[in-house]
Structure 1
């Protein structure tokens, strides 16, 4: 075998991921219309009809299968107002997975509550119901079930635990726009569902977010928390403010701009076909790798009736790669294929971006351990053994990835060179 491409050898193949985000002409037209309208913000004067924000909220609520949607500036603010709307605060605990983006912990601390990190199910990489049950205490005020990478957390089991202990479940659907569990879209099962529309997400406006729910009172509370405590006026006259002051709740300005809402409204019309394309390509990759030694695509529960792919995920068998860490294998495969492989997020309690001691407002009144001594076994194993690549790769045709099995074989046959790469250290870099 020739030298690994990461060490200067020839690559097995080349791949250029399709561009992401993708802007349609309708998206550009919608942006132009907002720019010319004179209303760039929800707090701008009413013009001749509902705001772009209100139109997107209605469309996304229909898409998710719930009555209500409150758009926000980003996924982080969506999580914050969901926690606030459920009255999570000082002295409370919130159970979150130990494998997820840092916002799941920082948002809990932002409302002065304590994040309690629980282990994951190795089959799905999502929050383990058994770990949730073990983590419940009298102080537990919410459970955040994150639908991660290309799977869905076991909603049947987690919702049953929440109901048994009278603890609401928030679905974090930042990576699962359009996924479905037993015929219903994710986000519609819990007390609230939160979404991110950040640059790399399946549905994006560069930034943006949303909270969806079915409860009328919760929706009213979410709306005010997002709008500086203001409510929407039913029938404003042209030139009047749509948002009117109220004295019920102190909120924060997390309103999505009209520009972002216009982009999201048009991008939403493309999402179903893009998700279908990704799923079709992912199926082709699964078949390509069916007989490949040492790798195994992450599967999803049978209850998932609509699978989405934020990241395509593979578990490697370390022995097949000379015991190399997943991050090292990612570096080698990326160099061989041009496919932007990445490891999973680092365990949350060791994530370099999670440093709560650097913010005084995150200080707890008592010593709190975010992660158990020794870590969470399945979270640690996933970081050592799981490799991923971004959904933009899946917007290519399946045969564009036909060189992947050969690249995997080449990397497996170079354990000494993998050890050389490993000695250079593990890169924590990972996009959202």
Structure 2
């Protein structure tokens, strides 16, 4: 058996502590499976005295993660600190410059600097592995990079953020408001004190950018992703989706076409019969569509210390076995320049909720604006609000009334143009709510 693979772990939060526990619990089995022992030689974190529930006494402590990354007595630098800049970037660069393999769970770092880091890793003859950076415990990176190497992939999509999926699930099941569900997610530890990164879609976008690069062999371009979060979703939208036969999910979608690559993150109405619609709570799911295998759907825990540590260890085990695979499944220098697709014609329809002033001619004017853009309406539903108890017996209807439009297949540009005209006409009281309808099988 070869000498032990020596790890330097920077970051001892939830994931880092779980990784230490995993190595200590399954060390013997890891040695058998990979052909060599795996040991944590040294660690680094912000606070040395904090109780993390694991025994660190046999590990050397380094206050500076950059010094740990350069240490001569480690073979693999494991970066679990997070953040796109600062110590994370400096220490990963230092490790690569020193000829160390790097394993990271840092999606923000890779979305911003993944291409440059991959090129440096290849120039130094070492690996940069990141299974844990997308979809937690789901092995989507290995699936895209290795298992589907013989396929041409046309689309990757999925639920990539457990916080958002938890909130939308609770809103649907219990009829709670978005704010109430977010507060509960924060109380349970599913959402951060500042949940912006999750609920505004940026976490999903970073993960999608990494999967896109592998699936389509393109350079990373997280800035090209259209990003929309779930803050605007209301109980009225959840109820309407249910009546129409859909569920609302925050999806990350990457599609390749003749005109280029389209990446988008947004709330989506998906048919209740689709596998993605059945994913509830903090669970993640990713679907891949390819020419030889058709559609694959993988689901599992998208976050959490143990699930993410499991993904980190899968990368470490590859290194212990000597499996050195290109960061993005091909040489980083062979990644094609990112080419953004022209605005496609959306494959499904749109759900549009308007708050319309209840006055003569308003509905006809709205329908006319849709017709001007060539938009066919599948249905128009007016949901009248209950009259106030203090209202006169025959009041003049001044309060705006909710109206739901469902379109047939159309182009997003036409929808935006029509709604801009509707807004300018003064018939609606607030910003329109627009949600794509994806015809997922």
TM-score, normalized by length of structure 2? Answer: 0.27
TM-score, normalized by length of structure 1? Answer: 0.27
Which structure would you say has the larger RCO, counting Cα contacts within 8 Å and 6 or more residues apart? 1
Query: Which is strand-richer, 1 or 2?
Result: 2
Bigger radius of gyration, 1 or 2? 2
